[in-house]
Amino acid sequence: MCNTEGFEHQDKPLLIVISGPSGVGKDSVIKRLREKNPSLAFVVTAASREPRPGEQHGVDYYFLKRPEFESRIAAGEFLEHAVVYGELKGILKSEVQKWMDTGRDVVLRLDVQGAATVREKAPEALLIFITAESEEALEDRLKNRKTETPEKLRLRIETAKQEMARAAEFDYKVINPEGCLEDAVDAIQAIITAEHHAVHYRRVSFE
């Protein structure tokens, strides 16, 4: 191994937000990124909805009953929270701080609205936008999932198109075409590596 003693590099933990519209494959990207880089810490999102088949509490989401969720909002326990398609979702501050205190890079999976909130509270967070190759491709993916009623599907498609237009609010954009998951994950890993060699460090803090 080459000797880099005396050369300073970014050894502070990064707060990494992976976001993008519904249907672009965020969950698949996150899953593969976890497999390829086990040193990353992934924060589990809290949600007020009921679990879908196969989902596990504390693994896929923290499934909280709505009254408990609302009481924890009132107590200021969330870094960000929002109503998404009629349900509450949010990131608990304690979960983020727990992992950052270990010195590990922390990854948040958020919708576009949540990513904007984190940027306000933690301007030095690293925001990565995952997108499909086109609006048409994204619409096809959402239709093929067949998980919503026609009314909810129309809302999700319209929302996804609006979110795709907000890519410029992020630091990086990664396209995730069908069948190219490895390329997308490798691009994200390259971004993380590059940020650790940046001249100006991202010194993340939040209240």
In order along its 207 residues, the chain shows pLDDT tens digits of 566 554 454 578 999 999 999 889 899 999 999 999 999 999 988 999 999 999 999 988 999 999 999 999 999 999 999 987 789 999 999 999 999 999 999 999 888 988 999 999 899 999 999 998 888 887 778 877 777 788 888 888 888 888 988 999 999 999 998 889 999 999 999 999 999 999 888 988 765
**In terms of DSSP bridges, do strands 41-42 and 106-109 run parallel, antiparallel, or are they unpaired?**
parallel
- Provide the number of structural domains found in the chain: 1
Active site residue 156: yes
Give pTM, 2 decimals.
Answer: 0.82
Residue 202 lies in a domain: no
Residue 127 lies in a domain: yes
Active site residue 145: yes
Active site residue 119: no
Residue 151 lies in a domain: yes
For residue 8, give the amino acid letter.
E
Residue 97 lies in a domain: yes
CA distance 172 to 147: 29
Domain region containing 121 = 15-195
- For residue 138, CA distances in Å to 21, 29, 131, 178 come to 9, 16, 8, 10
Residue 64 lies in a domain: yes
Q: Which is catalytic among the residues 52, 72, 154, 166?
A: 52
Please state at what angle helix 181-195 crosses helix 26-36, rounded to 10 degrees. 60
